[in-house]
Amino acid sequence: MEPRFSLTGTEIGAKFAKRFGTASLAIVQSPLPKVTQELVSLRVSQINGCGWCVDIHTKELAAAGETAVRINLVAAWREATVFSEAEQAALALAEEGTRIADASPGVSDDTWERVREHYDDDRTAALVALVAQMNSANRLAVILHQKGGSYEPGMFG
């Protein structure tokens, strides 16, 4: 299936994409570890069924030197021993922040406490922004039928 529409092919879409990308820079340039950013981005994308974003984040993790075991176990991170406590807290926040519409109570106090044990204010802000940003990116890609498979690591700088 081909993409439905080129968002950046319109004046409004191009303006939106530019601002969306600029907002992402605040996260990318934050002190939140790059691997944590990619793990969270991958998990959110898996939950939302975004093939384009799953493609991006699995390939970026591999390019960063992450093992196939860690990449493959992101989908079942609660049943894995390969993630640090800090990464587990971030993945829990990613899941709970993504599944709000699934009759979930949102982010639990327990998850929030675990996040705050491992992340200072700047890293927490970046993590919260990342979960929100990835959910938005996933929705854009799914609506427009962006398909995974063609991404090359570093393609977007």
pLDDT (tens digit per residue) in 108-146:
999 999 999 999 999 999 999 999 999 999 999 999 998
Beta-carbon neighbour count of residue 28 at 10 Å?
Answer: 14
User: What is the spatial distance between Cα 82 and Cα 15, in angstroms, rounded to a whole number?
Assistant: 40
Q: What is the pLDDT of residues 6-41, one digit of tens each?
A: 888 899 999 999 999 999 999 999 999 999 999 999
Q: pTM of the prediction?
A: 0.94
> What CATH number belongs to 34-143?
1.20.1290.10
Angle at 56 between CA 52 and CA 59, to 5 degrees: 135
In the chain, what are the domain boundaries?
34-143
Q: What are 76-81's contacts with CB under 8 Å, separation 24+? A: 77/43
pLDDT number for residue 139 = 96
Q: Is the pLDDT of residue 56 over 80?
A: yes
Residue 1 has pLDDT above 90, yes or no: no
